[in-house]
Amino acid sequence: MGFFSKSFDKLKGALKKTADVLNTDVRTLFVPGRQIDDAWLDEFESKFIRGDIGVKRVEELKGAIREQWRLGKIRNANEAEEIVRKKLLSFFPAEDRELHFVPSGPTVILVAGINGAGKTTSISKLAWLLKNEYQKKVMVCASDTFRAAAVDQLTIWAERIGVEIVKHKMGSDPAAVAYDACEAAKARNIDVLIVDTAGRLHTQDHLMRELTKIRDVVAKRIEGAPQVSMLVLDATSGQNAIAQAQHFTKAININGIFLAKLDGTAKGGVVVAIRDQLGIPIKFMGLGETPQDIETFDPERFITALFGEKEPTAK
């Protein structure tokens, strides 16, 4: 699809920008001919820890390289690159990351996350993608009735993108809004209903229960819904994102992750741990402020872009 190759450039551009600015470009590590030694291993460690991959995983990678090096199986840095790349890729087993739509009736995407993760902006991206690339009839549901002006924010996006919105007054019951949205989506032959929820810290049990309630209401109104329970994660977040994923999974059984704000100086490496430990697929990446700045997650490309200039292997 044209969209994807185009957006891949975007991802690469974003990550390259990051690499340029940060001077953490791993390419200097993997220069052909550069010898592996202790200094190299230290540099490797520091560059990869900065990607928020997690100290344990970096040590694992480092250990693997060191072992091969000690055994004399590799000597050059570019040989190490292959090991790292393979190992990183192995954290992302082949799996289905596509969005699937039910043949009849609305497909529901329930979106959740902590405060400020980027839920509303990510929803605008999803809505744009579904409307323009998938040609779907999209409706958004403003179930964030808590944060000041959250409904207004979603309303503005809905208008700009040109999708329908169901909303109540601020402070009303978010589950009630979801109820109405489900009914409206069925009545108006909507293909995809995206439910926005208020940001909540995963440690606040009562708010997590509220989220479960919203999910239950949706499930009651539309059979098999929500088909997608999506967690929006901030790419700048550190190891705490793992705890977030765990708690949200407990509440609404997360089955997809939207990695937002990947256009910054952060690399979002924590998703490696999340995929590896929790088995939740990463589905999309947010790469900017506008609705078009979205890409489906492809581990090979993610890692390749992370590594530098090499073109991804043909798909």
Partner 1 sequence: MFDTLTDKLSGVFRSLSGRGRISEENIRESMREVRTALLEADVNLKVVNEFTEHVITKALGQEVIHSLQPGQLMVKIVYDELVNLMGPVDTRIYFVQPGPTVIMMCGLQGSGKTTTCGKLAMMLKGRGMNPMLAAVDLQRPAAVAQLRTLGEQVGVPVYADDSKIGEHGNVPRGAAVAVSRAAIAEAKKTGRDVVILDTAGRLAIDEELMAELRDVNEQAKPHQIYLVLDAMTGQDAVESARRFNEQLELDGLILTKFDSDTRGGALLSAKMVTGKPVKFLGVGEKLDRLEEFRPEGMAQRILGMGDIVGLVSEAMEKFDQEEQAKLQEKMEKGTFTLDDFMSQMTQIKRLGPMSKVIGMIPGMDQLTKQFGQGEGEIEGQMGRMKAIYDSMNRKERANPDSLDGPRRRRIARGAGVDVQEVGQFMKQFEMSRSMMRAVGGMGMLGKLKLMKGLMGGGLAGLGQPGGPMIKTKKSGWQAPKDRNKKKKRR
Residues of the shown chain interacting with partner 1 in the complex, contacts defined by CB under 8 A: 17-18, 21-22, 46, 49-52, 54-56, 114-118, 121, 146-150, 152-153, 155-157, 160, 170, 201-204, 234, 236-244, 261, 263-267, 269-270, 289-290
Whether 250 contacts 278, CB under 8 Å = no
Query: Closer CB to partner 1, residue 227 or residue 244?
Result: 244
The three-state secondary structure class of 238 is coil
Nearest Cα neighbor of 95 from 301, 297, 242, 246 is 297
Query: Closer CB to partner 1, residue 227 or residue 236?
Result: 236
- Type and span of the H or E element at 132: helix 119-132
Query: Closer CB to partner 1, residue 35 or residue 46?
Result: 46
Query: Closer CB to partner 1, residue 95 or residue 152?
Result: 152
Query: Closer CB to partner 1, residue 191 or residue 196?
Result: 196
Cis peptide, bond prior to residue 103, ω within 30 of zero: no
Residue 213, amino acid: K
Nearest Cα neighbor of 308 from 30, 87, 4, 112 is 30
**d(C-alpha 258, C-alpha 97), whole Å:** 11
Q: What angle do CA 179, 230, 151 make, to 5 degrees?
A: 50
Query: Closer CB to partner 1, residue 100 or residue 206?
Result: 206
**d(C-alpha 13, C-alpha 199), whole Å:** 30
Q: What angle do CA 60, 282, 256 make, to 5 degrees?
A: 130
Give CA 307 to chain center in angstroms: 19
Contacts of 79 (CB under 8 A, 6+ apart): 68
Whether 227 contacts 107, CB under 8 Å = yes
How many C-beta atoms surround the C-beta of residue 70 within 10 A? 10
Query: Closer CB to partner 1, residue 27 or residue 56?
Result: 56
Give CA 87 to chain center in angstroms: 20
CB of 221 to partner 1, least distance (A): 28
How many C-beta atoms surround the C-beta of residue 47 within 10 A? 17
CB of 266 to partner 1, least distance (A): 4
CB of 105 to partner 1, least distance (A): 30
CB of 140 to partner 1, least distance (A): 13
CB of 94 to partner 1, least distance (A): 27
CB of 205 to partner 1, least distance (A): 12
Query: Closer CB to partner 1, residue 77 or residue 266?
Result: 266
CB of 116 to partner 1, least distance (A): 3
CB of 214 to partner 1, least distance (A): 17
